[in-house]
Amino acid sequence: MTAMTEAGTAAGLRESAPQPRAGVPARGRWDWLGAVPFLAFVIIFMLAPVSYLIIGAFQTPKGAFTLGNIADLASPNIAASYWLSIRLSLASALIGTVTGLMLAWAVVLGGLPGWVRSAVTTFSGVASNFAGVPLAFAFIATLGRIGLVTVILRKVFHINLYATGFSLFSFWGLALTYLYFQMPLMLLVITPALEGLKREWEEAAASLGASRLQYWRFVGAPVLAPSVLGCFLLLFANAFGTLATVIALTGSNFSVVPILLFQQIRGNVLYNPNLGYALAVGMIAIMIVTNTAYLVLRTRAERWQK
């Protein structure tokens, strides 16, 4: 979801904007008025609603200050939700990072014909946008109980997938489904970093007698590490906020945090509106931490991408 930003900001920040010239002085004093509609919109429809939730998270239903709601996030069923969300996001981000990196390496540095790279990149642009409900439907047709792959495995290879404990509607099924938008996202955001590995470095290492393994161990991996870690966090955040795919696959039985919040908004399942606010604030906190770490790592990584 943030790939646009990734590629976009990098370009946007580096391009030097045409420097605005000094405006007519008499008008200058009222220039700020031009930014008012945008700022008003942001304040009313973004900052105010979020602030409302944050303030509510620290209040009792009667309006007194409390830390009780935040403390209640540690209660068994809510903590279990967070833990499930975190594990699922970690698993899906980890698989997405590894597979996306391999695919990116294969098409960028693998010496394949140029059209393979264009095809994979273009497809990734589409696939990273193909999320939500339709994605769930495609996977039900593939790995559901009567999905194509399930049936082929049973009829041709005599493997009953669902007897092995696998279910599309459980943890690993969801992780596998998320991979459909995680892997392309990884490919798109890591490609600039792979392109940034300069050929001269490899040649320099080789001329100093390094093997390919040594080149990757002492040059490639350290240069790539911040980018890879940053992209991993981006994928984590991407998975953490995923809701529609889960609902379309599992109804609302699989209680990751977004699902729990969804149910809370629908029908106050926590029996405490302020605990719902705390739940939302917890989500925002996780998003802020991962995205900030991502930005910091990306800034570090950009040192090598001149």
Nearest-approach distance from CB 70 to another protein, in angstroms = 16
157 near another protein (CB under 8 A):
no
271 near another protein (CB under 8 A):
no
112 near another protein (CB under 8 A):
yes
204 near another protein (CB under 8 A):
no
Stretch in the footprint of another protein (CB under 8 A) among 66-74, 158-166, 174-182, 213-221: 174-182
What is the footprint of another protein within residues 54-93 (CB under 8 A)?
A: 56
Nearest-approach distance from CB 79 to another protein, in angstroms = 19
Question: What tokens appear for 90 in the block?
Answer: 């970690």
254 near another protein (CB under 8 A):
no
213 near another protein (CB under 8 A):
no
Stretch in the footprint of another protein (CB under 8 A) among 71-79, 155-163, 219-227, 258-266: 258-266
Among 48, 71, 79, 221, contact with another protein (rule: CB under 8 A): 48
Stretch in the footprint of another protein (CB under 8 A) among 69-77, 158-166, 222-230, 245-253: 245-253
Among 184, 220, 226, 230, contact with another protein (rule: CB under 8 A): 184
Among 73, 84, 86, 248, contact with another protein (rule: CB under 8 A): 248
142 near another protein (CB under 8 A):
yes
Nearest-approach distance from CB 134 to another protein, in angstroms = 4
CA 82 from chain centre, in angstroms, equals 16
Specify burial of residue 305 (Cβ count, 10 A radius: 0-12, 13-18, 19+).
middle
Strand partners for 182: none
Among 90, 94, 98, 106, contact with another protein (rule: CB under 8 A): 106
Number of residues that bind another protein (CB under 8 A): 106
Q: What mask of x and - would describe binding to another protein in positions 13 to 32, judged by CB under 8 A?
A: --x-xxxxx-x----x--xx
